[in-house]
Amino acid sequence: EDKVVQSPLSLVVHEGDTVTLNCSYEVTNFRSLLWYKQEKKAPTFLFMLTSSGIEKKSGRLSSILDKKELFSILNITATQTGDSAIYLCAVEARSGNKLTFGGGTRVLVKP
Amino acid sequence: GAVVSQHPSWVICKSGTSVKIECRSLDFQATTMFWYRQFPKQSLMLMATSNEGSKATYEQGVEKDKFLINHASLTLSTLTVTSAHPEDSSFYICSARSGEGVHEQYFGPGTRLTVT
């Protein structure tokens, strides 16, 4: 059974801080790992990672995948209150095209 | 970007009644839609994969006779919770895939179901 574990469960930071979110996984025939941001309702897509060691970057967010150690990290630099959300990590196996989600990390950025 | 809507956004029903939730892709055709369930402070759990014109594929442990899924067109899938019980109270989210890539999957805003 595919498994995705995220840590920490939650964290509170102040504006301007940097946060690092972790996602470890066990999946048969890994295809890709995805990060989503869920603010109030629908998760929105952030990154899709398929290759080790190649950083994906979008503004203050970046992410990297380590397929040998089976984990990914999501970094947010110079955090803003608008970054407050639940960040979800999901993996896709080669069979099925479906996503298995981790439990999420709840981030609260205080002014 | 691709937009997915859900209706209703929240619903309260009595035990024993059935509730239908609609998921629509507004500006694209979706051959595949997914239904998820999310309990408070928990992650998304895939319930079933819905393909247009064919029977849905349910995940292990999900009762297909209780959670009826109909994907009648390329823009609409429905989830009917039959004979609802309080333990069915949850946040139900659908997603629709616009292309072949898994990242081309867009989520609806969710439906909060409360069964009293």
Over residues A30-54, the pLDDT tens digits come to 999 999 999 977 899 999 999 898 9
Q: Can you tell me the mean pLDDT for A71-96?
A: 93
Question: Helices then strands (H, E): number in chain B?
Answer: 0, 11
Q: How far is B84 from chain A (nearest CA, A)?
A: 23
pLDDT at A96 (0 to 100): 66
Q: How far apart are CA B22 and CA B5, in angstroms?
A: 8
pLDDT in tens, B84-106: 999 999 999 999 987 767 667 88
On average, the pLDDT of chain B sits at 91
Pick among B103, B104, B111, B112 to test the A interface (most A CBs inside 10 A): B103
Statement: residue A6 has pLDDT above 80: yes
pLDDT at A1 (0 to 100): 81
Interface contact A34-B103, CB threshold 8 A = yes
**Chain A residues with CB inside 8 Å of B105's CB?**
45, 99
Least confident of A64-68, B50-54, B60-64: B50-54
Statement: residue B1 has pLDDT above 80: no
Interface contact A101-B107, CB threshold 8 A = no
Tell which wins on pLDDT, A89 or B39: A89
Distances (CA, A) of B107 to A49, A70, B34, B60, B113: 19, 26, 9, 22, 17
pLDDT at B41 (0 to 100): 75
Residue B93 near residue B110, CB atoms below 8 Å: yes
Q: Is B53 exposed, middle or buried (0-12, 13-18, 19+ CB in 10 A)?
A: exposed
